Amino acid sequence: MHGLARASLSFGCLGLLRLFEVPWCWSLSASLGIYLGTGGWRFLRIVILTARRDLFGLCVLLRVKLAIRRHLRCGSTIPSIFYETVQAHPDKPALIYEATGEVWSFTALDQLSNAVAQFVLSLGFVPGDVIAVYMESRPIFVAIWLGMAKVGIEAALINFNLRRDSLMHCISVSGARAIIFGAELAEAVWEVRSTLGKDIRLFCTGDLNPQHLTELGAEALDPLLTSSSRLPPPRTHRKVFNDRLFYIYTSGTTGLPKAAIVVHSRYYRIAAIGYHAFRMRPNDVIYDCLPLYHSAGNIMGVGQCLVNGLTVVIKKKFSASRFWEDCVKYNCTVVQYIGEICRYLLNQPAREAETQHKVRLAVGNGLRPSVWEAFTQRFHIKQIGEFYGATECNCSVANMDGKVGACGFNSLILPNVYPIRLVKVNEETMELIRGRNGLCISCKPGEAGLLVGSINQQDPLRRFDGYASEAATKKKIAYDVFKKGDAAYLSGDVLVMDELGYMYFKDRSGDTFRWRGENVSTTEVEGILSTILNQTDVAVYGVPVPGVEGKAGMAAIADKSDSFDPVHFFTAVQKLLPPYARPMFLRISPEVDKTGTFKIQKTRLQREEFDPRHSNDKLYFLDARAGRYKVLNEDLYNAIRNGSVPL
């Protein structure tokens, strides 16, 4: 932030004018269009209600743009920005590891990352080489990728929940020539050792006994780092702001993970926008319990330490019961969340610590409107910094003013300053709907549409760096979207914008199904069922029934304590859901499949449909005529399939 102040000073008015020349003209003409098209009064109302918000957003955008321009001009990298942070406060705690209480000062983090840099250089790696990093969250994880970045070597950050085929897939698409893994994952490495090939070198950090090391053919990293020089490494690379920093794997809802390229400027941008948009302060302490192999934990969280000099508390693994006590213990003022975390916290019995902490701000995504206010009220959180944006996309939005339920906004007064749009899309196939002129059709307020961001490789705020795989990159780009010959990034997510420009997350792609002529949103139904069931995990999906149009709703419900009560459940469902949205089938199991970031996985559930032979889970069928859920046994299953029991 000291850097930003300098940037604004050195740039002055000239840069400011140049920056907004073009969008400004578009915006004025677009605003005029709204003005004339909607009648002056409506436009005036919009101006009155949103000018403050928009002005703040514009300032955030401007500050970050100016800083990015400066870094582009100077050829900055994340290590060079981190160097400035270290100079500013060498002895301040940078990272705190919750599991052991160890505190890493900025100097300590800098020196250990130097040791990593010196070490990988000594191994003969050259700029552009890739090393896979596979370990649980802890401070050395940051030192490792940062140290590699100091000498231009790129880390592939691998999800530590992956095993066997998916682990192999991620390692092989990265092209890594070495793997640095945590001792806690030695067994997982062992499982793929024979398929890895002899050319990949293995290094293990943490305690692993020498015999296991030998069996794996791995070397112990920690002693090698201890004996490496802690001096800054020689600059052997020519990487600048728009060059590759590391790879993050995005867990798509379908198919295998894709490696998304993160360039230095993107890392900087996410951290800087988060800092300014949510009004973080230099003395904030962030509680980061999200995995470091994803952008939320490693960029939005750890980035605040590297770029802005905040202290970040790294939690090895999210724990709902320890959450607020940790926040009290470390004087945290900011916490990170994903929607599921909020739900788990609400599910906890009341504790003293939950209101004794100093947390002012919660930053994350996926907080559902159904639990938003319950969360802020119960835990006394003043501000929710909800944002939306995939690692690789340049069309992120952020909720800067705490509007309940919104994941961001786009200005209606100056709509072209930030060129994102909602465009009409067939929600089942996710194909763009085009008008007669061949271009996409923008949505009106209240209409759901696909979020797209126009692409401009010259502008770091708008570039799209793509995936490591070219085929994957192509699928995410559409042409002729706003005008002939342009290109836009397709986010894959459907949002709705209200008449003031606030945006609300609607659905993951393909996450609706049709039943009785209505579109049922699985996210919406999941939110409601989960509320009925005391915030337990619920997965809702459609299953085909022979001879019946559309898909019947099915809900898989996590019930560890075997306390599910179908009668009570049905009474609540009747009150809260319209008949077409009530799940026809229920599946009660101790756990619902989840990804490492607690996202519910439905692939297996969907495949097993409502067939009782697939598992020992208890199934229920909604007998609408009898007005209750009946246990679904094989007989009933067959009768439903042959049509003798009507739905």
Ligand X SMILES: *[C@@H]1O[C@H](CO)[C@@H](O)[C@H](O)[C@H]1NC(C)=O
- Please give the residue ranges that form the binding site for ligand X (CB under 6 A): 330-331, 347-349, 394-395, 418-420, 426-428, 453-457, 461-464, 489, 518-519, 534, 635, 638-639, 642, 644
Q: At its nearest, how many Å lie between ligand X and the CB of residue 29?
A: 18
Q: Are 596 and 159 in contact (CB under 8 A)?
A: yes
Q: At its nearest, how many Å lie between ligand X and the CB of residue 401?
A: 20
Tell me which residue has its CB nearest to ligand X. 455
Report how far residue 96's alpha carbon sits from residue 112's, in angstroms, rounded to the nearest whole number. Answer: 15
Residue number with CB closer to ligand X (349 or 438): 349
Nearest CA-CA partner of 3 in 295, 266, 309: 309
Strands 103-105 and 93-97: antiparallel
3-state secondary structure of 101: coil
Residue number with CB closer to ligand X (188 or 451): 451
Q: At its nearest, how many Å lie between ligand X and the CB of residue 35?
A: 24
Q: At its nearest, how many Å lie between ligand X and the CB of residue 572?
A: 11
Tokens 């690789």 correspond to 392
Q: At its nearest, how many Å lie between ligand X and the CB of residue 629?
A: 18
- Look up residue 442 and give its DSSP letter: B
Nearest CA-CA partner of 500 in 418, 411, 419: 411
CA dihedral over 579, 584, 588, 591, signed as positive or negative: negative
Q: At its nearest, how many Å lie between ligand X and the CB of residue 416?
A: 10
Gyration radius of the chain's alpha carbons: 26
DSSP string, 328-397: HHTT--EEEEEHHHHHHHHTSPP-THHHHS---EEEEE---HHHHHHHHHHHT--EEEEEE--TT-S--E
Beta bridge partners of 226: none
Residue number with CB closer to ligand X (39 or 90): 90
Q: At its nearest, how many Å lie between ligand X and the CB of residue 273?
A: 11
Residue number with CB closer to ligand X (249 or 418): 418
Q: At its nearest, how many Å lie between ligand X and the CB of residue 640?
A: 9
**Cα separation values, 395 from 111, 392, 510, Å:** 36, 9, 20
Report how far residue 362's alpha carbon sits from residue 378's, in angstroms, rounded to the nearest whole number. Answer: 13
Residue number with CB closer to ligand X (468 or 640): 640
Q: Are 439 and 480 in contact (CB under 8 A)?
A: yes
Q: Are 433 and 425 in contact (CB under 8 A)?
A: yes
Residue number with CB closer to ligand X (224 or 328): 328
